[in-house]
Amino acid sequence: MLTLFKYEVRKTLSLKIAVIVLTFVMEAIFLIGFLSGKGTNFQNDGSYVGFLMAGTIGLMFCGLLGPQLWALQSIQLLYRELNSKQSYMLFMTPNSSYSILGAKFLESMLSAVAGGLFFIALAAVDVLLLVVNTAGIPGEAYRMLRLELASEGLTANAALSAALGILVWWISVIAAAFFSVVLQAAIMNGKRFGALISFAFFVAVSVLWGYLKGFVLPHGNGLSGLLLFIGFDVVIVIALYLSAGWIMDRKLSV
């Protein structure tokens, strides 16, 4: 599966590089604004404000849209590979359907995790830079930031759980999309309107998932409720992966 994974990374590399390059351009704009402002002690409304704003907005766009674009590309790639002759590149090889799908899953999940960590780290560095500039020294700045967040009721545990929740939710969206694409490919066999049918399946799976979630789980609040929701999502992700693999193995003709 590692060889398959290597090629999945290669197939999606161009877009990843494009997003990262764009992010660094935005970071450079942000830093130009920051350094210009620092030179004047942020005392006047100089041109640094424009750079800071443009850089910040650009970074937010990259951070929010980048990982979504990566995921969309993975889904589109699976769709294309199951509905075109490129499928031979995968299914001619002595790999099981579970490995083929697993490599795609792994690539998407790691992209989400790595992308998430990258953008969170970048945001943390930039926020810290701004705070340090007003507070003086890094230790004090960090203490100020922590106090500020704690006063809003955001503890490290809650932040980590929320981040994990978002990550699992995101992976579950990808899992539902992969399952929908595989199901469509097995039924439609490359016929027209496959993308629309896939989307319809995706909506149906998502609605059913949401219904099951509300039905099966108690409407608990707090950390334990969140962890329960995450656990439920993980189980469904595994079930969707196994079902999609089974369909590919038994029903899919390319």
Taking CB under 8 A as the binding criterion, the range among 48-56, 91-99, 142-150, 165-173 that sits at the site for another protein is 91-99
Nearer to another protein, 4 or 175 (CB): 4
For residue 97, the minimal CB distance to another protein (Å) is 9
Residue 7 in contact with another protein, rule: CB under 8 A:
yes
Residue 89 in contact with another protein, rule: CB under 8 A:
yes
Residue 11 in contact with another protein, rule: CB under 8 A:
yes
- Rounded Cα–Cα distance for residues 126 and 33 (Å): 12
Taking CB under 8 A as the binding criterion, the range among 68-76, 211-219, 225-233, 244-252 that sits at the site for another protein is 244-252
Token representation of residue 120: 């969170």
Nearer to another protein, 87 or 172 (CB): 87
Per CB under 8 A, the list member of 91, 199, 229, 246 interacting with another protein is 91
Residue 90 CB-density burial (10 A; 0-12 exposed, 13-18 middle, 19+ buried)? buried
Per CB under 8 A, the list member of 47, 68, 76, 93 interacting with another protein is 93
Residue 193 in contact with another protein, rule: CB under 8 A:
no
For residue 181, the minimal CB distance to another protein (Å) is 18
Residue 87 in contact with another protein, rule: CB under 8 A:
yes
End-to-end Cα spacing for the chain: 20
- Which of 39-72 are b and which e, b meaning 16 or more Cβ less than 10 Å from the residue's Cβ? eeebeeeeebeebbeebbebbeebbeebbeebbe
Give residues with Cβ within 8 angstroms of 2, minimum separation 6: none
For residue 174, the minimal CB distance to another protein (Å) is 21
Residue 75 CB-density burial (10 A; 0-12 exposed, 13-18 middle, 19+ buried)? buried
